[in-house]
Structure 1
Amino acid sequence: MADRDSPVFSAVSSSARQLYLLLRCISFAPKAQVQISEEGLRFTASESSVLEGMVFLEKALFTTFQYKAPRHSTPDSDASVDEQEDEIATNPTFAISLPSLLETLQIFGLSTENNANKPNAYRRDGYNNAFSHDVLGISGSCSITWEKPGNPLTVILQEAQITTTCDLVTYEPLSLADIPFNRENLVLKVIMRASYLHDAITELSSTNPQSLTLTASPTSLILSASSTLGSAIVEFDRDSKTGHISTNRNTNGNGNGTDKQGSGLLETFHVPEPFSQSYKFSHVGNAKKALASATKVSVRADEQGVLSLQFMIENLEGGGVSFVDYRFVPLVGEEGDETSTTEEEGEEE
């Protein structure tokens, strides 16, 4: 009877900050879908079935992790009650407000706006206040419990002698379908330091582009974007330790080009044949928080043009690494030509 009354899921983490830093990587959507399994928690955010972000909080991130798969019976079955109760349902899934969960995890001031994009800033920049971990010498713990389907997700935070309990409403699962990505037929695979790609996306965003074009050949990887404000190109050479960033802004018909050196160092470079595809820039821009927290990023594309960005993030507490995955559906037809059309109209004016 005690086992029957125990919650479906309960876990304790010694670092609410680590959970916050991982989940904020997919904070572009108002709701996230949560799937609980024996291996951990999978959080998935999506936008219009063309952008998907996923964070997996594996059980190793928690000091204790207990999961009891909910049992269900088949009403029309002729089996006995005991046999029906032995039937195990699929892993439970529900939706939750992602902003509310993030606000809860940082309720003790685990992050500040200035340090939001720097997961190691707490130790690196010397910033401390009266409530920082370095001053208090403690690490806020986090307990997460989900009793059963229909119940709220209960988050209990403890810091020193203060305990805060928050019940977050759960919703019916979102109508999400994973964006298909064929790992067996890759036309592009590049592994590089995340900071290089972060700098490249930041540089390209200066022209406020609508789309990002990713072009690869057996010798180089090129990211380009353009708008009425100008154009920018970032090129990484396969055999070079430096990437060449070429920027050209054009607002009045006169080009103003500058070239500067940026770090390249592509650890893995596999492009069997030329590849070129465009993606919505704002979608790719949503991954900047993950890029800022990650140490490495794997850039992959399959034969359908679906882009996958997988970020490796080093865990602050206890070592190890976690992964955040993004998938992007490419622009097709008129979508890909929309930016060029806008530029031509601006030039005619």
Structure 2
Amino acid sequence: MADDRDHMMYIAKENAKEIHQVLKSMKFKEYCTFKACRDGIQFVVDDHNFQQANAYLKTEIFSELDVRVDEVRLRVPMNILAECFNVFSGASTALRLTYDGPGEPLVVSLEDEGIVFKCSIMCQNPQHHHKMYDFEWKNENVLAKVILKPNKAKEIVRDLDKTSPTVRITVTDGHISFLTDGELGKIKSMIPAHSDQVEHMEACRERVTFSYRYNLIHRMETAFLASSKISLRIDNRGVMSTQFLIPRTDSKNIFIEFFTIAEVEWDDG
């Protein structure tokens, strides 16, 4: 796409489909916060109560990234943004994002086989709305860490009992399990540490166990399905960090991370 680059922000990428997959995996609220700086871009979706999703796209995955201020930060309507990226379905779709400053729209331009689509999205200043929750994540407070290949985890999350209000997640050095208690009764799914689906599993206690609202786990289902590797960590407050590695054709990775607050700590067996 030929155009001048005299913008406050100019971002170009050869494969727009990758960003559409990211947006689709975290589309659970009406708005997202879009951030851009010289190091890359970030999308943040926050329900201001129990969960926050972050996607990090580093400079190296873009063909061009020019941000002429310290940071561009916008509150963008999520559905409109995701639909823009979905206009063309091919992997050859070229993307350009431009922004010229306060009061100006975020302009999404896509080109596929000579056909150009352009969408101007009016955005809001995120400072005029709720501040994003700071989860104050500290690695030294992590009680459990599991790194999984996605196949078995995808099946478990997809088949969770939808009538269960919560999902109890338990990690020991020997297994990770998911327990629901709904209309079908108590159902436990387990992945043992010796499974070929497990790359790493450790617990700083004999058993680390917390429960999370079913709907919060369900929000992550699309990310589970899209991922090639999953990292799950739980800290001493029960806050769960779930990182999803989104596969690309090269080695420059895209990560989506969900922070989820525990609903109830389970003390019984």
What's the TM-score once normalised by structure 2's chain length?
0.90
Aligned to 2:73: 93
Q: 2:175 aligns with which of 207, 220, 227?
A: 220
Q: Flag the structure with higher helix content.
A: 1
Aligned to 2:61: 61
1:234-262 Cα shifts (integer Å, max 9, x gaps): 11222x32xxxxxxxxxxxxxxxxxxxxx
Q: Flag the structure with higher strand content.
A: 2
State the aligned residue count.
Answer: 259
Alignment of 1:154-165 (within 5 A): 154-165=107-118
Per the TM alignment, residue 319 of structure 1 is displaced from its structure 2 partner at its CA by: 4.1
Question: Is 1:35–1:42's contact at 8 Å kept on the other side of the alignment?
Answer: yes
Aligned to 2:219: 286
The residue matched to 1:267 in structure 2 has which SS?
Answer: strand
Unaligned runs of 5+ in 1: 70-89, 111-131, 134-138, 242-263, 338-349
State the alpha-carbon separation in 2 of the partners of residues 216 and 157 from structure 1.
Answer: 44
Per the TM alignment, residue 283 of structure 1 is displaced from its structure 2 partner at its CA by: 0.5
Question: Is 2:48–2:133's contact at 8 Å kept on the other side of the alignment?
Answer: no
Question: Is 1:140–1:159's contact at 8 Å kept on the other side of the alignment?
Answer: yes
Question: Is 1:193–1:297's contact at 8 Å kept on the other side of the alignment?
Answer: yes
Question: Is 2:165–2:213's contact at 8 Å kept on the other side of the alignment?
Answer: yes
Aligned to 2:29: 29
Alignment of 1:36-115 (within 5 A): 36-69=36-69, 91-108=71-88, 110=89
Tell me how large the CA RMSD over aligned residues is. 1.9
Per the TM alignment, residue 149 of structure 1 is displaced from its structure 2 partner at its CA by: 2.0
The residue matched to 1:170 in structure 2 has which SS?
Answer: coil
Per the TM alignment, residue 44 of structure 1 is displaced from its structure 2 partner at its CA by: 0.3
State the alpha-carbon separation in 1 of the partners of residues 154 and 173 from structure 2.
Answer: 23
Question: Is 1:194–1:311's contact at 8 Å kept on the other side of the alignment?
Answer: no
1:23-52 Cα shifts (integer Å, max 9, x gaps): 211111111001111111110001132111
What's the TM-score once normalised by structure 1's chain length?
0.70
Per the TM alignment, residue 99 of structure 1 is displaced from its structure 2 partner at its CA by: 0.8
Per the TM alignment, residue 312 of structure 1 is displaced from its structure 2 partner at its CA by: 0.9
State the alpha-carbon separation in 1 of the partners of residues 174 and 93 from structure 2.
Answer: 48
Aligned to 2:133: 177
Runs of 4+ in 1 over 6 A off after TM superposition: none
Question: Is 2:150–2:197's contact at 8 Å kept on the other side of the alignment?
Answer: no
Unaligned runs of 5+ in 2: none
Aligned to 2:244: 311
Question: Is 1:179–1:327's contact at 8 Å kept on the other side of the alignment?
Answer: yes
